[in-house]
Structure 1
């Protein structure tokens, strides 16, 4: 009889002990937090969606126009007129200083200016005398100009101290609004200055339109 009891206890130990060890080794599931009665449940915070890429916009451009036969030859004559160029968003058949006229996918030089107090050359036709010198950087895709500072740095790095990106207003140009119409007043949007390096190999150049959404960084 005692021998039979020992045998039974041995069998029970063989069956029960492994089950107890397995239960102790299993990972414990943390208890589910329950909000107090009447308290609102706070949803889990998910990671924010990555921001989409900024769409490529449009920038303001001016074109290089030929001088009249009697004009001084050391003058850069940059005009808003489209000429033979085909602009993406022309305004009155010319550049668009309000919302930009050329896709920022296009590769063009940045028009730069070094302001000064140069007198207007005698016999110079047209308008927009800037009293400074105009030059240009190497051609760059407009979309890479993500700030005015970056464009200014390009001008200074390639041309030297005192150079910055030329603006629409540097030639005394005024934007059209409900009280002003440049065509009715006989104005021609232009930028003229002493001819500097980099101008001559391209038809259009990036120009800064201050206070308007007409720049590739807007």
Structure 2
């Protein structure tokens, strides 16, 4: 017999506060039925304009995707239950000691193509190699200058400080030629000639 919402909530004992963002709070908890440690993400219920059937639309999409996905590289989605003010998603608890925060890759937006997602993959790969943020700028213009090297008036109608750029092998000194070639392909300026996911995988 399935447990009702109140009974399902009671089987989890909160142990520690982990993180809080604009839309959700994450706790470390214990599943009292099997004595396993889990992570509970409490998603705040959105305003009426943001919600569908009482649930924030972004949260609803996340729940639907998690229910359909099952892969060793994707965190396990174990349970879901609701309250008046939030929805709780229960996940496998994943220990970490690297303190690495991966950047969000936003898939499917209408204003750009897959090439932008591949650029983001390159940035994540670069940050994993450097263990530091990649291409950090002091301002928006400085950020673009570091990304584009020195665009001409044809490629970007703004004045940029001219500089020649730094070869990737000087930045990623520990990377082999194959990895450098992959990074170069992911950071190609023109998204139509940038590496696709399949090309990057088999390169």
- Structure with the larger helix share: 2
Structure exhibiting the larger radius of gyration computed from Cα positions: 1
TM-score category, normalised to shorter length? under 0.3
Q: TM-score, normalised by structure 1?
A: 0.20
